[in-house]
Amino acid sequence: MDDAAATTIVAPVTPPGAGAVSILRLSGDRAFPIARRLTGVDPAAHPPRTLSRCAARDASGKEIDSGLVAYFPAPNSFTGEDVAEIHLHGNPILLEEVAAAACASGARPAEAGEFSRRAFENGKMDLTQAEGLCDLILARTAASARAALRQLNGGIRDAVAPLKERMLSLLVLLEASIDFSDEEDLALLSVAQISERVSEIRASLFAYLKSYDLGHRLREGATVAIAGVANVGKSRLLNRLLGEERAIVTEVPGTTRDYLSGEITLSGIPVRLVDTAGLRETEDPVEREGVRRSREILAGADLSLFLLDASRPADDGDRGAYAEVAGRPHLLLLNKSDLPSVESGKGFYGGGSRGILSLSAKTGEGIAGLLEALARELVPGGSAMMAEAPMTRLRHADAVRKAVSALERAERAVGEGLSLEFPAADVREAMLALAELTGEIAPEEVLNSIFGSFCIGK
């Protein structure tokens, strides 16, 4: 660790603003002397990891507040360094004064995520655990929090570590086969054995890669766009799903001229519902802009709900609007089932279709079935996948894809009868990809990006 990293840092670990308690954290080689100077409590005279009464003072020795202090000796602390925490009354002025006194005594303000980065650099957690900590703090649903906690507890590392060990074992045998290929009495791996082992590892990694579909939605949420022509009931459906009058509902076509949105939780996934403007060609510049924005939302949505008014035959306007979603994942909804039905949805079977449902946004008929269908689409793998520590970030998925790709090349090299140096190099590349996943190998810009997204004090 360089001199800059060895310095003592200080920052509040509680949210800004007034409250019952504020906590100031110091970490580094001078954390204990600085905390002792500010509180008068000798760490040698008090048991570690216990709270002791103190009077917090400024750099001149003037009492600022009465509070508590706790000492966490290295390496048994969050950062792996000596850590001191001073508990004050929750007034931002008091916290600022004590923090200033700590800086006057030799500390410096911590940067965003610097405590967690020191924990990572000191081996207290791997990179996926550090990300899990950040996600746990920011989780928007109980299921998101549970997934983040599993990641914080090492779930992603535990999922890939056995596969990495199997790669290492295979690589040792491959390299031994290369080095001792002339030794007739050495039991070498057969081509079939090499191919089988590579295939098994690749299949296991590919299966785990599927967890990203759920994991990134747990962390980031999903977007469901409600689409169709004007006056088919899109706004009424949004209100029904949200359980509130979020959108204005009238019989006048084109009431929604820009998109409206609201959020629900579905099977633990934060779901952003977006009511888009009616998809049609128009000369009205405001409505035209709304349609343009709607198309952008549809292009990026995880799933679309395309509505048809089942009480009238579909027309060219419906078919033209359907072309906007036909190739993307969508459910076709036959709305207004409370009225006599004349439209069956026949002819609306695009490549992205996930099925047809009949419902009434007005009465609520069929809404339960719609929610069940949404859950099936947005929570792939269901409860079994929820029990894992799914990959939650694109960085995770990219690393595993890189490993899978390398193992595919290794399989091809073996199948084509190439020298064992080729599959050995591919297996080594797959191992390096998993090392990037956990942070054993991590470029500085990657670390800066990850820890820079943390809050100050964490």
Residue pLDDT, tens place only, 328-365: 999 999 999 999 999 999 888 888 999 999 999 999 99
Of residues 221, 370, 379, the one with CA closest to residue 307? 370
pLDDT at 188: 63
Give the count of alpha carbons within 13 A of 273, CB side only.
Answer: 24
* Residue 18 structure tokens: 């007034």
Please check the confidence at residue 3 and state whether its pLDDT lies above 70. no
Are 132 and 149 in contact by the 8 Å Cβ rule? The answer is yes
pLDDT at 286: 56
Diameter of the chain by CA atoms?
87
Q: Could you say which of 1.10.3720.10, 3.40.50.300, 3.30.160.250, 3.40.50.11540 is the CATH number of the domain covering 221-379?
A: 3.40.50.300
Looking at the chain, which residues constitute the CATH 1.20.120.430 domain(s)?
A: 132-210+392-439
pTM reported for the whole predicted model: 0.82
CA distance 165 to 282: 61
pLDDT at 163: 95
Q: Residue 2 — very low, low, confident or very high, per pLDDT cuts 50/70/90? A: very low
* Residue 207 structure tokens: 């299966």
CA distance 110 to 125: 19
Q: Residue 75 — very low, low, confident or very high, per pLDDT cuts 50/70/90? A: very high
Considering the domain 132-210+392-439, what is its CATH architecture? Up-down Bundle (1.20)
Residue 316: exposure state from Cβ atoms within 10 A (0-12, 13-18, ≥19):
exposed
Distance of alpha carbon 176 from the chain centroid: 41
DSSP-derived secondary structure letter, 228 = -
Cα dist from 51 to 56, 174, 197, 211, 395, whole Å: 14, 56, 54, 42, 40
DSSP secondary structure string for all residues of 407-454: HHHHHHHHHTT--THHHHHHHHHHHHHHHHHHTSS--HHHHHHHHHTS
Looking at the chain, which residues constitute the CATH 3.40.50.300 domain(s)?
A: 221-379
Report the mean per-residue pLDDT for the chain: 88
Residue 94: partners with Cβ closer than 8 Å, 6 or more residues away: 22, 56, 64, 65, 88
Distance of alpha carbon 444 from the chain centroid: 21
DSSP-derived secondary structure letter, 44 = G
Of residues 297, 130, 135, 133, the one with CA closest to residue 220? 135
pLDDT at 358: 96
CA torsion 105→111→113→115, rounded to 10°?
A: -20
Are 152 and 129 in contact by the 8 Å Cβ rule? The answer is yes
Q: Residue 450 — very low, low, confident or very high, per pLDDT cuts 50/70/90? A: confident
CATH 3.40.47.10 fits 3-123, yes or no: no
In the chain, what percentage of residues exceed pLDDT 70?
89
Of residues 144, 124, 115, the one with CA closest to residue 439? 124
Q: What does the pLDDT look like over 151-179, one tens digit per residue? A: 999 999 999 999 999 999 999 888 888 77
* Residue 8 structure tokens: 């003592």
Q: Residue 399 — very low, low, confident or very high, per pLDDT cuts 50/70/90? A: very high
pLDDT at 350: 85
Q: What does the pLDDT look like over 282-297, one tens digit per residue? A: 555 555 666 677 788 8
Please check the confidence at residue 281 and state whether its pLDDT lies above 70. no
Q: What does the pLDDT look like over 16-29, one tens digit per residue? A: 888 899 999 999 99
